[in-house]
Chain A
Amino acid sequence: MGKDVLTGVHFLSGNHACVEGAIAAGCRFYAGYPITPSNEIAERMSVRLPQVGGIYIQMEDELASMAALVGASWGGAKPMTATSGPGLSLMQENIGLAAMTESPCVVVDVQRGSPSTGLPTLVGQADVMQARWGSHGDYEIIALAPSSPQECFDFMIKAFNLAEIWRVPVIFLSDESVAHLSERVVIPPKEEIKLVTRKRPSVPPEKFLPFKPGSDLVPEMPIAGEGYRVHVTGLTHNEKGYPDLSAKVHNKLVPRLVNKIRKNADKIVEYEELFTEDAEVILVTFGISTRICRDVIKRARAEGLKVGLFRLITIWPFPEKRIMALAQKIKAFVTVEINLGQVAIEMERIVKERCKTFLIPNAGGAVHDPDEVFAEVKQIVSGLVE
């Protein structure tokens, strides 16, 4: 057997770091269908999983891949797949199934230029909304966005832990630039990596109700073949797991699926702030764009401009509370993202009249030019003074 945690210093691409993060997090099942720019994940998984006693399957398509994840999850595995925007579109039906059946799993989406086939080998960040509600119906997922190979490793562990705790699909919103960027990655000793596994049944099979939630709104999860009756369906189901097609049951189940994330958002939300204490203007960003904004902030501060950075680590759930608090004391938020305003529209919704909101968009194909972003930020700052 090979080692599951490759403790040490490595020179890894974002995609390869994702694989090592997943394996360190306990992922032992991968089902996927190749697509650029996520292929290095499938390639490395196909080598690494057999070394650690895991299962790697190349499926016939993305629909089947996602279905396999739901099955593997109920078989007790921590499953994952990796794809890009077009593949994520094809996975949506079964992402909805995973949300409805509360199957923990991780879906890596290495975003590329889109819509449709778009720019297969070039960067995009336009799957933000697809990640949230790409499948039909009301449901909530968790989405994380890394900005470096090191974060690909660290956040993959976070992603699996969150999937296990909240029993939702976690969408890992990487992007082509982070995926193909190689940097130093430090993998810590195995005993320093904190892992979480799903809540298991606390009562014997005859007393067990598979969809009866705990105080955190998450039910305990049995594993198929252990003696517990497991009926898993995409139909509206009661606490026994059986279909119950009534408004009453539906109005209990669906709000719970949504509320287990919304009401627990404080425990899930993560963000990073830089120079926000005295900032008048704050750049809001995520993923690879974080790094461009870091350069911009450095330059702005050197010129005495009070510009700060608010970087989303979890995009969903959105850090609404913190943004509202910041909006009270600053003049403007400027969203920098490689799409035409998907996070920006969420910012407008939350900020309302508390302060101004701006967007520096980019349809994709390349990251923002720091010079141009800096020029625009300067212009916004000077416009606010008048």
Chain B
Amino acid sequence: MKTEIIIAGFGGQGVLFLGDLIAYCAMKEGKYVTWVPSYGPESRGGTCNCQVICSDQLIGSPAIVHPDVLIVFNQPSLYKFLPRLKTNGTLLYDSFLIKELPAREDIRVVGVPAFQISKMGNMVMMGAFLAVTKGIKPETVYQTLEEKLTGAKAKFIPVNKDAIEKGIKYISDKSLETSNE
């Protein structure tokens, strides 16, 4: 089992941290993982993306051509990466920031207004990712946050956790709606 994920958006949206967190958590659950960031020389405002692979086997190339999961936070990233998403792949996009959705019928599309739900939009998306893919246990993520955010950063644990829970809830509410229809 090998899952390839591309996460893309503007610098400053927490794109790299989201990827780092997914990879670290998968590693804690015993997977082989790679995390590769990609960004330009600017520190904020440019587009950036990262590529995460989680696998049961040793990973060769860490570069992803056709991802299984695409998570995007802005319009340019959607245009850039959507054509590369695998058939039957999953698109998670911020429906608050992305208004135009190019048509692709062969994929699963999940819109989450992440940055409307919380300032920690990336963590809302983490929650949505957990709920949709079910590849990583939420408990592992909460544990990891506590390990990663120590000292002065420890105060950010509750807000991050809250945002993740909101993301999970958004997906479960949404699927409830669809099943009622």
Contact = CB atoms under 8 A, between A and B. Distances in A.
Interface stretch (B36-44, B68-76, B149-157, B172-180): B36-44
Interface stretch (A128-136, A154-162, A179-187): A179-187
A11 B27 contact: yes
Given A11-B24, A177-B63, A183-B32, 17 more contacts: A11-B23, A11-B33, A121-B38, A121-B41, A177-B36, A180-B36, A181-B62, A182-B20, A184-B33, A291-B59, A291-B62, A292-B61, A294-B61, A295-B60, A298-B60, A366-B63, A367-B63
Interface string A35-55: 010000000000000000000
B34 interface: yes
Q: How large is the interface on B (under 10, 10 to 19, 20 to 34, 35 or more residues)?
A: 20 to 34
Interface in B40-98: 40-41, 59-63, 65
A371 interface: yes
A295 B61 CA distance: 7
Contacts of B38: 121
Contacts of B170: none
Name, among A184, A298, A367, the residue most crowded by chain B CB atoms within 10 Å (CB to CB): A184
Contacts of B34: 181-183
A369 interface: yes
Return the 4 tightest CB-CB contacts between A and B, nearest first. Answer: A295-B60, A294-B60, A182-B35, A292-B61
Nearest to B35: A182
Contacts of A180: 36-37
B41 A181 contact: no
A369 B65 contact: yes
Interface residues of A, number: 20
Interface SS, B side? mixed
Contacts, number: 57
A370 B27 CA distance: 24
Contacts of A292: 60-61, 63
B61 A120 contact: no
26 contacts: A11-B20, A11-B23, A11-B24, A11-B27, A11-B33, A11-B35, A177-B36, A181-B36, A181-B62, A182-B20, A182-B33, A182-B35, A183-B35, A183-B59, A184-B33, A291-B59, A291-B60, A291-B61, A291-B62, A292-B60, A292-B63, A370-B60, A370-B61, A370-B63, A370-B65, A371-B65
A298 B61 CA distance: 12
Nearest to B144: A11
B59 to A, nearest CB: 8
A366 to B, nearest CB: 7
A114 to B, nearest CB: 15
Nearest to B40: A121
A380 B62 CA distance: 25
A180 B34 CA distance: 10
